[in-house]
Amino acid sequence: MSAHIVLIEDEEDLLELSEYRLQKEGYEVTGFLSTKHVEELLLEEDVDLLIVDRNLPGVEGSEFIKKLRENGYRIPVIFVSAKDQDTQIEEGFLSGGDDYLTKPFNMNELVLRVKSILRRTKKSDEGKLIYKDIIMDLDERRAFVAGEEVSLSKLEFELLSYFIENKNIVLNRDQLLEEVWKNEEFKQEKTVNVTINRLKKKIDPNRDKEYIQPIRGIGYKLC
């Protein structure tokens, strides 16, 4: 599966040119002229890389990325900007950027930087499930939230991984019992509720992130 790149650039000609060049390299590219609706896409789809201009209408690019980082998103970011002073470049990195390319730039250089970042991040994410600031190491059976390890039981680990694999999908209790509890005896719907509440307390002790939300009369959804 090709990497999915989101490109945010308010110069329409440059946006189209960049989209065309990256698509020729085999990437799936979604372009935006502003940050509006970008977060909606991030909630619905897996994105491997953000390429972000800083001079954007509404929200300045580095401020937008800073907000995403605060909300737990770890998607790598390349800033592409006419802001080329040392202090401005430093500002971009401090806000959460992983690379910085100043305008005007050579399109071949952009492609090389994209390939480099995707190669590094793909290698580091092998064997992991990632959702916002939750990282699950499937090989070592360890879970981290905002960089802090969280102790989960075998059942809680399987439940959280199933939620992440099916993020933004409403999962009913029967489905969870079938897929997570599998062949365990004494499977009951109330067991699902109890386990989910215990899991929620572990991954969101302050109850300010609301990763797992109940859908009345149906089940639960990770969102």
Q: What is the pLDDT of residue 161?
A: 94
Q: What is the pLDDT of residue 126?
A: 75
**pLDDT at 218 exceeding the cut of 70:** yes
Q: What is the pLDDT of residue 132?
A: 85
pLDDT-derived band at 123, boundaries 50, 70, 90? low
Average pLDDT over residues 10-19: 96
Mean pLDDT of all residues belonging to the chain: 90
For 54, 108, 223, the CA distances from 17, given in Å and listed in that order, are: 18, 12, 33
Average pLDDT over residues 40-68: 92
CATH 3.40.50.2300 in the chain, residue ranges: 4-124
User: Which pLDDT tens digit goes with each residue over 158-202?
Assistant: 999 999 999 889 999 888 988 888 765 555 667 888 999 999 999
**Which residues lie below 8 Å from residue 7, measured CB to CB, with a gap of 6+?**
15, 18, 19, 22, 29, 30, 31, 32, 51
pLDDT-derived band at 146, boundaries 50, 70, 90? confident
Out of 57-66, 106-115, 181-190, which region has the weakest mean confidence (pLDDT)?
181-190
Average pLDDT over residues 68-95: 93
Q: Considering the entire predicted model, what is its pTM?
A: 0.70
Exposure string for 113-152, b = 16+ CB within 10 A, e = fewer:
bbeebbeebeeeeeeebbbbbbbbeeeeeebbbeeeebeb
Q: What is the pLDDT of residue 56?
A: 94
CATH 1.10.10.10 in the chain, residue ranges: 128-222
Q: What is the pLDDT of residue 187?
A: 58
pLDDT-derived band at 207, boundaries 50, 70, 90? confident
Average pLDDT over residues 105-133: 88
Q: In the chain, what percentage of residues exceed pLDDT 90? A: 66
Q: What is the pLDDT of residue 110?
A: 96
**What CATH number does domain 128-222 carry, 1.10.10.10, 3.30.460.10, 3.40.50.980, 3.30.720.110?**
1.10.10.10
- Answer yes or no: CATH 3.40.50.2300 is held by domain 4-124: yes
